[in-house]
């Protein structure tokens, strides 16, 4: 008596060469498939398609329209803006998604169908928010970029989307650092203070220039008066040389006359002295009067001699004055000319000082008007601006609720493995009824029906467990359970058909199908050949149906379910082929008995 399929006596003790090769090489094949598909999920990001919807409205900066949103989109796509330098370096081939610039409708449809792993939406205020950093602190806001991931995408796609978009925004923000901006704003404060000091100094310069202008005006007036007086003096002294010459000549004549008088008086005095001497030989009153007269004459002679000497000095001085008068007159003329030049220069100085005063007033007014226009930030404003500027672009993730992304993949894998186990523990061909009168088709339908029923129960239980805690609406819950029931039934029939038609080889194929479905379901970066192979397998349509059901996309759910039912028909055909083959073999063996 042999044991059941799960007993210790099941299987064969001796394996043939093919069986040994399959047992040894099957793990190698599975390992190669997993390594090929999942060893480097981030290496070929270009195999993942994502959409960009650019709603940004450009801003005008310094008279130039600046479309920052378009530049950001161009940087993500990996190209460059046609007329602006993009803030993001062009992507290296293979290191970025295949970004598609599209509209809202196409993005929504592609996201629901799984055609796009994510949709990045650049809002209308993107450029405005980034440019707000140059305005008041209370107006500075970060630019929010919305990223929505698809519930129909592969398991790792949301994480890859997050990594790529985070890298892109980091590249956009890389040149804006917190410390740098704090230094810039502190520099604004310093410039503000220095210009205020310059304005105060300019006011003082203006006041000093006013004083200079006033003093220069007084100097000009004094120089003009001096020039006028010197002109009068020059005119009055023009006849001075001739007059001094006449004075010298007259003084010389007076000196000569005085000398002649002094000589005549001296001679007369000598004669009179002789007469007095003779008279005084006979003393008396006559002698006394003669002696007194002689004394008077001697005194007069002495005065006359002094007058003659003084006249000589006057004549000599007058001659020297006459000789120096032309030089004096020439000096007075030069002084008058210099005073006129001084008056002109003082007038020019006064005019220049007035212009300087006016310019200083304009400088002071301009600086005073400029001070309020230069921003000055408080410590709190600096903190707000530096924090915003250090991360001007912020990602607003809009992902599916936790668990929704993984539920379809986990459900599909669980049901496929359950169907494999069901095909392993249950005979794929009802051998006891092979020799009966019932047709092969009825036998195949009956046996496949039991498998389908068991698979449907698996689908009901698995979907109920997987959906616990996801917070889905009742409609989506019921739709997902219904699709899971169909998928479970189809998987059970397909696995029974593989086992019935191909035996152990069919079970190996079923295992390979499960591994391929796992690899493709985990990441969209798997090789294109593996994606193509997975697309023609029953697990692909089942996964689409489950994703459509949980994502609220009825069209995708219905299309996937219809294709899955077609696979169920193919599975039934394989069961029918297996029943017919076994029935022929059984009849041949029965007829060969003696």
Q: Structural domain boundaries of the chain?
A: 45-176+392-398, 191-373, 401-591
- pTM for the whole structure: 0.57
**Distance from C-alpha of 452 to C-alpha of 432, rounded to nearest angstrom:** 20
**Per-residue tokens: 50:** 């994502």
Q: Give backbone dihedrals phi and psi of 116, rounded to 5 degrees, phi first.
A: -115, 130
pLDDT of residue 1: 42
pLDDT of residue 99: 83
pLDDT of residue 89: 39
For 452, residues 6+ apart whose C-beta sits below 8 A from its C-beta are 489, 490, 492, 493, 568
- Give me the CATH topology for the region 191-373: Helix Hairpins (1.10.287)
pLDDT of residue 93: 37
Helix (H) or strand (E) holding 153: none
Radius of gyration from C-alpha coordinates of the chain:
63
**Distance from C-alpha of 539 to C-alpha of 377, rounded to nearest angstrom:** 62
**Distance from C-alpha of 496 to C-alpha of 451, rounded to nearest angstrom:** 8
**Distance from C-alpha of 433 to C-alpha of 440, rounded to nearest angstrom:** 10
Task: Kindly indicate whether the domain formed by 45-176+392-398 is annotated with CATH number 3.40.50.740.
Answer: no
Give the helix ranges, DSSP H, for 39-121.
68-77, 104-113
pLDDT of residue 11: 46
pLDDT of residue 300: 72
pLDDT of residue 113: 74
- Those residues of the chain that have pLDDT short of 50 are 1-2, 6-13, 15, 37, 79-94, 175-180, 589-594
pLDDT of residue 480: 93
pLDDT of residue 136: 64
pLDDT of residue 50: 83
């Amino acid at each position: 008596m042999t044991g059941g399929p799960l007993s210790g006596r099941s299987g064969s003790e001796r394996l043939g060469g093919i069986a040994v090769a399959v047992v040894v090489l099957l793990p190698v094949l599975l390992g190669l498939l997993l390594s090929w598909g999942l060893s480097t999920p981030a290496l070929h990001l270009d195999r993942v398609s994502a959409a960009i919807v650019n709603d940004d409205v450009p801003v005008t900066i310094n008279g130039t329209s600046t479309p920052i949103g378009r530049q950001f989109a161009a940087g993500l796509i990996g190209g460059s803006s046609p007329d602006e330098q993009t803030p993001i370096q062009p992507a290296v081939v293979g290191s970025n998604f295949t970004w598609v610039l599209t509209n809202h409708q196409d993005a929504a449809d592609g996201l629901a169908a799984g055609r796009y792993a994510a949709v990045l939406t650049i809002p209308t205020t993107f450029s405005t928010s980034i440019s707000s950093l140059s305005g008041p602190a209370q107006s500075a806001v970060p630019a929010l970029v919305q990223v929505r991931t698809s519930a129909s995408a592969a398991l790792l796609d949301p994480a890859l989307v997050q990594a790529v978009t985070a890298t892109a925004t980091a590249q956009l923000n890389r040149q804006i650092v917190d410390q740098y901006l704090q230094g810039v704003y502190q520099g604004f404060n310093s410039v503000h203070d220095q210009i205020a000091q310059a304005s105060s100094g300019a006011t003082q310069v203006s006041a000093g220039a006013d004083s200079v202008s006033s003093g220069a005006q007084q100097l000009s007036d004094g120089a003009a008066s001096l020039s006028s007086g010197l002109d009068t003096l020059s005119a009055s002294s023009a006849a001075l040389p001739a007059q001094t010459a006449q004075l010298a000549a007259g003084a010389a004549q007076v000196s000569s006359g005085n000398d002649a008088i002094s000589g005549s008086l001296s001679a007369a005095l000598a004669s009179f002295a002789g007469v007095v001497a003779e008279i005084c030989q006979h003393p008396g009153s006559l002698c006394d009067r003669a002696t007194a007269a002689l004394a008077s004459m001697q005194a007069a002679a002495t005065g006359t001699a002094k007058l003659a000497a003084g006249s000589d000095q006057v004549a000599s001085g007058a001659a020297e004055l006459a000789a120096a008068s032309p030089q004096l007159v020439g000096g007075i003329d030069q002084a008058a000319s210099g005073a006129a030049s001084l008056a002109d220069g003082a007038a020019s100085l006064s005019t220049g000082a007035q212009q300087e005063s006016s310019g200083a007033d304009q400088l002071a007014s301009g600086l005073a008007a400029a001070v309020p226009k230069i921003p000055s930030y408080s410590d709190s404003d600096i903190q707000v601006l530096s924090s915003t500027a250090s991360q001007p672009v912020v990602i607003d993730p809009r992902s599916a609720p936790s668990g929704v992304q993984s539920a379809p993949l986990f459900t599909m894998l669980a049901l496929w493995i359950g169907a494999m186990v069901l095909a392993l523990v249950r005979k794929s061909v009802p051998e006891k009824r092979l020799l009966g009168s019932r047709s092969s088709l009825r036998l195949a339908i009956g046996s496949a029906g039991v498998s389908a029923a068991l698979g449907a129960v698996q689908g009901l239980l698995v979907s109920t467990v997987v959906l616990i805690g996801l917070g889905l609406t009742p409609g989506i819950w019921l739709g997902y359970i219904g699709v899971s029931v169909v998928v479970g039934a189809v998987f059970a029939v397909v696995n029974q058909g593989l086992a019935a038609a191909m035996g152990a080889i069919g079970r190996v194929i079923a295992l390979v199908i499960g591994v391929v479905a796992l690899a493709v379901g985990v990441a969209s970066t798997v090789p294109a050949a593996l994606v193509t192979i997975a697309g023609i397998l029953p697990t692909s349509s089942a996964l689409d149906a489950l994703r459509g059901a949980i994502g609220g996309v009825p069209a995708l759910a219905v299309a996937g379910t219809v294709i899955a039912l077609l696979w169920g028909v193919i599975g039934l055909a394989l069961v029918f082929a297996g029943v017919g083959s076994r029935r022929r073999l059984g009849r041949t063996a029965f007829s060969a008995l003696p």
